[in-house]
Amino acid sequence: MSNAATSLPATPDRRLGSVLDATAGVLLKHMPAISAGLGLIVLWQLIVWFFEIPTFMAPSPVDVFFAFQENAGILWANLLPTLLEAFLGFVFGNLVAILLAIWFVHSRTAERAFYPIAVFIKAIPIIAIAPILVLIFGNGLAPKIIIAGLICFFPTLVNMVQGLKSASPAMLDLMRVLSASNTEILWKVRLPSSMPFLFAALKIAATSSVMGAIVAEWIGSSFGLGALIIEATYNFRSPLLYATVVIAAVMAVILFFLVSIVEARVIRWKPAANH
Amino acid sequence: MLGAPKLKPEIDAPAAPSVAATAVSIRNVDVRFGDGVNEVTALSGISVDIPEGAFVTMLGPSGCGKSTLLRCVADLIDVSEGSVTVFGRTPSQARQNRDFAFVFQDATLLPWRTVLENVSLPLEVGKHARTGDYADPRALLQMVGLAGRENALPHELSGGMRQRVAIARALVTRPRILLMDEPFGALDEITRDRLNEELLRVWQETGTTILFVTHSIPEAAFLGQHVLMLQAHPGRMKEFMKVDLPFPRSLAVRDTVEFIRVTAHLRKLLEECL
C-alpha cells in the first residue's frame, strides 16, 4: 500500500505534503518576524495583567480574541462595505491617475494646466474633504469610494508621469528610426517602462485606500469598519475597537500582498544594466 | 582597394554591380544648436559621398560632430543648411521607406522583451510593419551566434551578446544602410575585436552599406574601406581617405606594416585636429 502511494507522484497526500513543505519554508523564512510579533503580544498581555489595566482603557490580547468570537457577525457585516469602498476607490482612483498621466505625457499644455490643480487637491486634508462630499453625495457608498479614490490618486499620478517619462532617449530614438506612431511608442515602450513606477504607487495605494474608506466612514456613516470604530469608542467597547482595527490592518496588508503578487507576475525583467 | 566588396549581395542588389551608386550624399551641411548667443555650430560645410556597399568609418576627436552627422542621416537631427540625401531621398522619406537601420552605443534593447521579441520589434511597428520583405529573426540570431538564446531576457546576456542582438534587430528590415554610433564603445577589447571581425563578415554577407562612428583608431582602420576624419570646433571635414588593406580582413592584419602605417597616419591627422 505504501509502495503504491510512493510510486504515484500526484496523490492528494503528496500534494498536501508539498503544500505543507512550502508553508513550513515560508514560516521558517519569516521566523524572526513571527517570533517578534508573538513576543510583543505576550508582552502586552503581561503588562495588562501586571499593572491591572482596566479593559476599557486597554484590553488584553485575550480580551480582543474573545471580541472577535463574540462579534464575528458584526465585524463581517461591516468589513464587506469597507472592502468594497476601498477596492472601488483603488480601481477608479488609479485608473483616473493613469489616464491623466498618459495625457500629461502627450500634452505639455495639459500637464501645465492640471498638474498644479492636482497638487492643490492633494494639499486639502482628506478629513476636510469628507464632510463636503457627504453633503454633496449623501450617506451612501459614493463619498467613501471617492475619498478612497482621491487618496490613491495623487501618488499614482506622480509616479506614473515619472514612469512614462523614464523611457531612455535612445529607446525613443530607436522607435523614431522605426517610424513608430505615438500609440506604438506608448504601448511598446512607455507603458512597459512605467510598470515598476506604477507598482510602487499601487502598493502605497493598496493600504491607503483602506485608510481612505475608513476615514470617510467616520463622517456620519452607519456602516463599515470606520463607523464601527466610532461606535465602539463611544460605548467604551475597547476589545471590539481593537478587533476592528486589527481587521482593517489585516485587510490593508492582504491588499498590499495581492498587488505584490501581481507585480511579481508582470515584472519579470530587470532594467538592462549596460554600464 | 581590390575590387568591389560585395561578395554575396543577397539582400541588396538593385544597382548594377560594376557602377557604385551613391548611398548617402552630404552637401554643404551645417548643423547649429541653440539660438542667439547660445548658438553652437556643431557641423560646418560638410560634403561627402558615401558609395553604395561601402564600409565607411567616421573618426575624430570628441566634439567633432561625428555622431551628429550620423544622426542627420538617420533623420534624428535636422540640418540647418545644406542637404542630406539617402538613395536620392530625404532622410525622412528614407526612414519611412526603411532604407536604413540604426545601432546605438548601448544596445537599447527593450528589457521586458526576450531576445527574439527584440529582434522582431521592427516588424511590429511603423506603417510598413506587415508589407516589407523582411529577414527571418531566427536566422539572423543564428548569424550573430545567438541561436538557442531566443527566449533569454536582455539582463541575462553579456554586453557583447546584447550588442549582437541589436545588430540582428537592425538587420531584420534588410536595410540598405546600417548606421552605427560607437556600437562597441562600451565593450571590453576582446569582445570588441571579435565583434569587429563578425561585423566585417556580416557586411560581406549582406552587402549593406555601413556608416560606423568610432573613437578608436585601430577600429576605424580595421573596419573601414574609407575613413572619414572630422575635426572639432566647429565640426568639419579633415580628410576622406581610402584604407588600402585587402578584404577579407582578419585580426592578424593589424600586425602588418601596412596596417600600422595607416593607423600612424590617422594618429598624425588626429593630432593635427587638436
Average pLDDT over residues A222-242: 90
Beta-bridged to residue B59, according to DSSP, are: B229
Whether residue A274 lies inside any domain: the answer is no
Is the domain of B158 the same as that of B253? no
Q: Is B118 left (phi over 0), alpha (psi -120 to 50) or beta?
A: alpha
Is the domain of A197 the same as that of A126? yes
Is the domain of B154 the same as that of B226? no
CATH of the domain at B268: 3.40.50.300
Which residues lie below 8 Å from residue A110, measured CB to CB, with a gap of 6+? Answer: A103, A104
Q: Using pLDDT thresholds of 50, 70 and 90, give the confidence band for residue A24.
A: confident
Is the domain of B223 the same as that of B167? no
Is the domain of A130 the same as that of A155? yes
B contact test, residue of A168, A179, A195 with most B CBs within 10 A: A179
Instruction: Find the CB nearest B126 among A178, A267, A271.
Output: A178
Domain boundary, last residue among B174, B208, B229: B174
Interface check for B128 against chain A (CB to CB < 8 A): the answer is yes
Backbone dihedral angles phi then psi of residue B147, each to the nearest 5 degrees = -60, 135
Is the domain of B122 the same as that of B236? no
Average pLDDT over residues A253-273: 86
Is the domain of B232 the same as that of B198? yes
Domain boundary, last residue among B126, B145, B174: B174
> How many structural domains compose chain B?
2
Average pLDDT over residues A23-37: 86
Grid cell, residue B61, equals 576627436
State chain A's mean pLDDT as an integer. Answer: 87
Is the domain of B143 the same as that of B66? no
Whether residue A143 lies inside any domain: the answer is yes
Is the domain of B195 the same as that of B266? yes
Contacts with A, B 85-114, CB within 8 Å: 95-96, 98, 100-102, 104-112
Task: Answer yes or no: do A271 and B127 touch at CB < 8 A.
Answer: no
* Rounded distance between C-alpha atoms, residue A168 and residue B154, angstroms: 15
- From B100's Cα to the closest Cα of chain A, the distance in A is 8
Grid cell, residue A81, equals 462595505
Whether residue A273 lies inside any domain: the answer is no
Is the domain of B160 the same as that of B71? no
3-class DSSP assignment, residue B100: strand
Whether residue A56 lies inside any domain: the answer is no
Q: Using pLDDT thresholds of 50, 70 and 90, give the confidence band for residue A12.
A: low
Whether residue B1 lies inside any domain: the answer is no
Full-model pTM: 0.81
Whether residue A272 lies inside any domain: the answer is no
Radius of gyration of chain A (CA): 24
Is the domain of A140 the same as that of A211? yes
Q: How many other CB atoms are found less than 10 A from the CB of residue A143?
A: 25
Domain boundary, last residue among A12, A30, A51: A51
- From A184's Cα to the closest Cα of chain B, the distance in A is 7
Q: Using pLDDT thresholds of 50, 70 and 90, give the confidence band for residue A197.
A: very high
Is the domain of B158 the same as that of B94? no
Per-residue pLDDT, B16: 42
Instruction: Find the CB nearest B111 among A179, A180, A269.
Output: A269
Q: E strand or H helix at B45, and its extent?
A: strand B40-51
> How many structural domains compose chain A?
2
**B163: closest chain A residue by CA:** A274
Q: Which domain holds residue B243?
A: 22-99+176-273
Per-residue pLDDT, A102: 95
Instruction: Find the CB nearest A178 among B107, B125, B159.
Output: B125
Residue B13 per-residue DSSP state: -
Is the domain of B202 the same as that of B168? no
Interface check for B159 against chain A (CB to CB < 8 A): the answer is yes
Instruction: Find the CB nearest B186 among A171, A193, A274.
Output: A274
**A195: closest chain B residue by CA:** B112
* Rounded distance between C-alpha atoms, residue B33 and residue B42, angstroms: 7
Whether residue B241 lies inside any domain: the answer is yes
Name the pairing type of β-strands B22-33 and B40-51: antiparallel
Is the domain of A174 the same as that of A213? yes
Is the domain of B160 the same as that of B183? no
**A175: closest chain B residue by CA:** B125
Residue keyed to cell 474633504: A129
Domain boundary, last residue among B124, B152, B174: B174
**B126: closest chain A residue by CA:** A180
Instruction: Find the CB nearest A176 among B76, B127, B154.
Output: B76
pLDDT digits (tens, 9 = 90+) for A135-151: 888 888 899 999 999 99
Task: Answer yes or no: do B162 and A189 touch at CB < 8 A.
Answer: no
Is the domain of A30 the same as that of A124? no
Is the domain of A28 the same as that of A129? no
pLDDT digits (tens, 9 = 90+) for A99-110: 999 999 999 999
Is the domain of B74 the same as that of B49? yes
Whether residue A163 lies inside any domain: the answer is yes
CB pairs under 8 A between A and B: 80
Whether residue B6 lies inside any domain: the answer is no
Beta-bridged to residue B230, according to DSSP, are: B237
Per-residue pLDDT, A112: 92
Whether residue B9 lies inside any domain: the answer is no
Whether residue B10 lies inside any domain: the answer is no
Which residues lie below 8 Å from residue A267, measured CB to CB, with a gap of 6+? Answer: A195, A196, A199, B112
Amino acid at B254: R
**A192: closest chain B residue by CA:** B112
Residues of A with Cβ-Cβ distance to B121 under 8 angstroms: 178, 188
Whether residue B165 lies inside any domain: the answer is yes
Backbone dihedral angles phi then psi of residue A15, each to the nearest 5 degrees = -60, -45
Instruction: Find the CB nearest B155 among A181, A273, A275.
Output: A273
Strand order in the sheet with B22-33: B40-51, B22-33, B81-86
Residues of A with Cβ-Cβ distance to B124 under 8 angstroms: 184, 188
For residue A9, is pLDDT > 80?
Answer: no
Q: Is A59:A242 a contact under the CB 8 Å cutoff?
A: yes
Q: How many other CB atoms are found less than 10 A from the CB of residue A182?
A: 11
A contact test, residue of B75, B125, B151 with most A CBs within 10 A: B125
Q: Is B157:B149 a contact under the CB 8 Å cutoff?
A: yes
Is the domain of A131 the same as that of A72? yes
Whether residue A90 lies inside any domain: the answer is yes
Residues of B with Cβ-Cβ distance to A196 under 8 angstroms: none
Query: What is the full per-residue pLDDT of chain B (274 aa) written as tens digits?
Result: 344 443 443 444 444 444 568 889 998 888 888 887 888 888 888 889 999 999 999 998 887 888 999 999 999 999 898 899 999 899 998 898 888 999 998 889 999 999 999 999 998 888 765 566 788 899 989 888 888 999 999 999 988 899 999 999 999 988 999 999 999 988 888 888 988 998 998 898 888 999 999 989 999 999 999 999 898 888 888 888 888 888 788 888 888 988 999 999 999 988 887 7
Whether residue B15 lies inside any domain: the answer is no
Whether residue A34 lies inside any domain: the answer is yes
* Rounded distance between C-alpha atoms, residue A134 and residue B207, angstroms: 73
Closest CA to B52 of B82, B87, B88, B80: B87
Is the domain of A89 the same as that of A71? yes
Could you give the C-alpha distances from A239 to A39, A232, A251, B138, in angstroms and in order?
20, 8, 18, 66
Whether residue B28 lies inside any domain: the answer is yes
Per-residue pLDDT, A220: 75
Grid cell, residue A189, equals 515602450
Is the domain of A38 the same as that of A68? no
Strand order in the sheet with B236-242: B100-103, B177-181, B209-213, B55-59, B226-231, B236-242
Q: Which domain holds residue A227?
A: 61-266
A contact test, residue of B68, B73, B76, B108 with most A CBs within 10 A: B108
> Using alpha carbons only, what angle is made at residue A44 by residues A40 and A48, rounded to the nearest 5 degrees?
170
Is the domain of A17 the same as that of A94? no
Q: Is A163:A193 a contact under the CB 8 Å cutoff?
A: yes
Is the domain of A229 the same as that of A178? yes
